[in-house]
Amino acid sequence: MEVNARRLVGRSAVVTGGASGIGLAAARRLAAEGAHVVVADLNAAAGEAAAAEVGGLFVRTDVTQEDDVVALYAATHEAYGSVDIAFNNAGINPTDDGSVLDTGLDAWRRVQEVNLTSVFHCCKHALPYMREQGRGSIVNTASFVAVMGAATSQISYSASKGGVLSMSRELGVQFAREGIRVNALCPGPVNTPLLQELFAADPEQAQRRLVHVPAGRFAEPEEIAAAVAFLASDDASFVNATTFLVDGGIAGAYVTPV
């Protein structure tokens, strides 16, 4: 995808889960638009490589650990003098999270910690910098499953993303008059290594899902990253507290084309 826009020159952008998939594509896109990117991830090798590629900073972070998150924004502020953009994107989708009938409490809690409590930590500790600056854009990664039910249930994942969606809306409303916007990004299924592996092993599972996508294909990570860059930028200056679906039309569909 060719990037001509330079909407983020001089801004600092923290990307959690920036070592892989959507986060990596967003780190590249935000940097291409001029931002100073801070990659935050558990995976040090891939995170260092991503940060080096985009000319940014890597901060090893476990987003479930509040102290790590505090240190992440402090390091960002120290390096670049501001915390302008927080893309709170790290998340997991483990196979032991399934039907409510089979999912154990351990799996439930792990997914809530990584997908939802982490976003609480990240918002809580990015916001003071943004309030001080009188400016900021927070983009929290939810999912289309925050607004639609799936019979192929991953119960804790869906509940965590519903939580991200309502938390984002509430924060967007609370801080709107301080120059801060908070939006929930809701991607449809994205062509990441995780999804490729899953569906290569079981093509029927891929087909079961593809039939519901009007676009007839899954998203590429760069298509989600383009939405992140828009929400992060002043082009989205009146876009706040939204459920920002980037799903190829899934949530709007009843019958899809054959």
The catalytic site residues sit at: 157
Q: How far apart are CA 140 and CA 39, in angstroms?
A: 15
Smaller CB separation from ligand NAD, 155 or 190: 190
In sequence order, the 6+-apart residues with CB closer than 8 A to the CB of 254 are none
Closest approach of ligand NAD to the CB of residue 85, in Å: 16
Smaller CB separation from ligand NAD, 90 or 127: 90
The pattern of x and - marking residues 24 through 63 that bind ligand NAD according to CB under 6 A reads -----------------xxx-----------------xxx
Count residues contacting ligand NAD (CB under 6 A)? Answer: 28
Please give the torsion angle defined by the CA atoms of residues 225, 229, 232 and 234, in that order, rounded to the nearest 10 degrees.
-160
Smaller CB separation from ligand NAD, 34 or 94: 94
Q: How far apart are CA 115 and CA 220, in angstroms?
A: 21
Element counts in the chain: helices (H) and strands (E): 9, 7
User: Quick check: helix, strand or coil at residue 82?
Assistant: coil
Q: Which of 189, 199, 236, 245 binds ligand NAD (CB under 6 A)?
A: 189
Smaller CB separation from ligand NAD, 61 or 137: 61
For position 195 contacting ligand NAD by CB under 6 A, the verdict is yes
Q: Which stretch binds ligand NAD (CB under 6 A): 12-20, 27-35, 102-110, 122-130?
A: 12-20
User: Quick check: helix, strand or coil at residue 17?
Assistant: coil
Q: Which of 76, 89, 183, 233 binds ligand NAD (CB under 6 A)?
A: 89
DSSP secondary structure letters along 150-212: -SS--HHHHHHHHHHHHHHHHHHHHTGGGTEEEEEEEE--B--HHHHHHHHH-HHHHHHHHTT
The pattern of x and - marking residues 197 through 236 that bind ligand NAD according to CB under 6 A reads ----------------------------------------
Could you say which residues in the range 106-165 bind ligand NAD, by CB under 6 A?
Answer: 114, 141, 143
Smaller CB separation from ligand NAD, 207 or 237: 207
Closest approach of ligand NAD to the CB of residue 227, in Å: 12
Nearest C-alpha neighbor of 131 from the set 65, 70, 181:
181
Smaller CB separation from ligand NAD, 133 or 256: 256
Q: What is the helix (H) or strand (E) element at residue 60, kind and residue range?
A: strand 57-60
Q: Within its chain, how far is the Cα of 230 from the centroid?
A: 13
Closest approach of ligand NAD to the CB of residue 228, in Å: 11
Tokens 């925050």 locate to 146
Residues making contact with ligand NAD (CB under 6 A): 16-17, 19-23, 41-43, 61-64, 89-93, 114, 141, 143, 187, 189-190, 192, 194-195
